[in-house]
Amino acid sequence: MRQTVPTTTQDNKKTARRKSGRALGPALVVEDDGLVAMDIADALGEAGAAPVTTCASVAEAMAQLEQSVPSILVLDVHLADRGDGWALAELAIQLGENSPLIIFTTATPEAIPDTAAGLGRVLPKPFSTAALVSLIQQERPRGILGRIRSALAGQ
């Protein structure tokens, strides 16, 4: 069942943005373990993502992606209805003007084909939500000035 985590109050949003440095934009969490999905959604919301939508299956996630492509896609690759959840990452990249930041979560990272793993970052389970948020904050695309500085620095 697809769920959207309610947007936090204005004060909580400001606090989350201060913690993360900026708003993260919309996020989609595709995870069939309800408790894990809620934990990830809460952490993303606190870090500044809004809204955060959760889906428990590939079918639900595909319906959500038809409506909008998120800025962040946290994707369990082995879901109850399909074992190749990385196909959602390929779909998300093709649907939107801007590709989302994709984070694959799985207990068996070696099972993800190299071509699929190259679409994002792989976060082996179990992981802490702090590690997830840290990875997202490190990987978020920087603004034009940050990209120019990185290019000039050879990074």
Domain, as residue range, for 65: 3-152
Q: Count the alpha carbons within 13 Å of 104 in the hemisphere toward its beta carbon.
A: 28
Domain tally for the chain? 1
Place of tokens 């769920």: 3
pLDDT at 18 over 50: no
pLDDT at 22 over 90: no
Average confidence score pLDDT of the chain:
82
Amino acid letter for position 15: T
Spatial distance between the Cα atoms of 99 and 21, rounded to a whole number of angstroms: 21
Tell me the per-residue pLDDT of 55-105, one tens digit each, with 9 for 90 and over. 999 999 999 999 999 999 999 989 988 888 888 998 898 887 788 999 999
The side-by-side arrangement of strands in the sheet containing 121-124 is: 3-5, 49-55, 25-30, 72-76, 101-106, 121-124
CATH code for position 84: 3.40.50.2300
Task: Report, as an integer, the average pLDDT of 30-39.
Answer: 97
Higher pLDDT, residue 111 or 103: 103
User: In which band, very low, low, confident or very high, does the pLDDT at 23 lie, cut at 50, 70 and 90?
Assistant: confident
Contact 29, 37 (CB under 8 A): yes
Task: Report, as an integer, the average pLDDT of 122-140.
Answer: 92
| Other CB atoms within 10 A of residue 55 CB | 25
User: In which band, very low, low, confident or very high, does the pLDDT at 146 lie, cut at 50, 70 and 90?
Assistant: very low
